[in-house]
Amino acid sequence: MIFDTFTYYLAFLIPAALLFRSVSAPVRPWVCAVFGAAFFVYFSVTQFGGWWGAACVLIFFWEASFRRFYTPRSKLCLVGVLVSVGVLVAFKYWNFLTGLAPGSREVNPLRWKGAFLPIGISFFTFEFIHYAVDRYHGRVERGSAGEYLAFIFFFPTLVAGPIKRFQDFAPALRNPSQQTAADWGAGITRILVGLVKKLAIADLLTSLTIHLNHADIAQANRWVLPIWVFAYGWKIYFDFSAYSDIAIGSGRLFGIGIPENFDWPYARRNISEFWSHWHMSLYKWLVTYVFIPIGGSRGSTAFACRNVMIVMLVSGLWHGAGLNFVVWGAWHGALLVMHRLWLVYRRRSGPATSTSTASRAGAWLLTYTAVNFGWAFFAMDLDTALFFFRRLLAG
């Protein structure tokens, strides 16, 4: 975790936030851009793909250079989207896609043996796409080069989001909050909350989730298996929401608001509510840039259900290059489709059914259970996840 290193705070966050607040408005974007690029290079060299990973900053600068060609209704916006998707596919999905052919797992002449994943590439890509699409539709101003680079390389959100939008970020960059003392107090508090979530809760749950492997599953009592996968559900929540808390708190030091990402998702009573409160910035991105463009809920119920499934398959693949992530996306797609069909049935069958405490509790328990068993496909490769369910059901 980058956010639990002294380097993040002493070499990047505190100096950048202090400098940002002390310079004139035209210089502020460049403070964010320079520190962001330095952050990318440093942590790429020390924790990720080494110097090759650090060199990828040049690819992202190259992708960012396309912005100067973007104008409303210009086909060059589409070119920018395709370039961004192509770069993501090359780094994240090439070996996965070329390994799908029969027999390619044993011998794959197309395999990239030195493959590595540049830090933040998934978040870079979605923010590149957002800007290009919104420029095409005239929903976002062009902004200056410095503002765009600051938006892309804003290092508190670079590794794990939340996913920002330029039309929200640029005004905050130009006119950050001037309540410095309050911002630093709130920001530091939010950062500490994130660190406690990560170090005191998420990491502690690893003692249970580490058992989600084929050998341990084979030897365990099957009644222990739900405990392990439910522990993973809480681990990933505290882990990921911790990153978001630290990013949001870091933004406050600059006087910049970062969108919230989690809002008690495990307290929701249906899968649609869960997704509108889990990784909210991703959910909104998928609705805006995938679901609505392919037709959304317009047309028949079957058409809308198809679109829901497409969106969730995209979500699964975005999270990771593996068949287990595809199945995880399909799992949630199926849950959302069933919920949609249930709503259609309810509308056609007349007045709403009981809203008693027992029915609400049952709806919550069903949603919570379905979501957490779905984490099996997220936590393990597909073969291990299927073995997990065989052991769970058959003993």
> Rounded CA gap, 1 and 285, in Å?
25
3-state secondary structure at position 381: coil
Does the pLDDT of residue 348 top 90, yes or no?
no
pLDDT-above-70 percentage for the chain = 96
* 340 Cβ contact partners less than 8 Å away, ≥ 6 residues apart: 272, 301, 304, 305, 308
3-state secondary structure at position 206: helix
Per-residue model confidence as pLDDT tens digits over 80-108: 999 999 999 999 998 888 887 666 556 67
Q: What is the largest CA-CA distance in the chain?
A: 67
Please tell me whether the overall predicted TM-score, pTM, comes out greater than 0.85 for this model: yes
Per-residue model confidence as pLDDT tens digits over 308-324: 999 999 999 999 999 99
Catalytic residues, by residue number, are 319
Q: What is the pLDDT of residue 355?
A: 72
> Rounded CA gap, 104 and 253, in Å?
50
> Rounded CA gap, 392 and 229, in Å?
11
Tokens at residue 284, please? 């909104």
> Rounded CA gap, 100 and 129, in Å?
27
Domain coordinates in residue numbering, the chain: 2-105+115-176, 179-259, 263-395
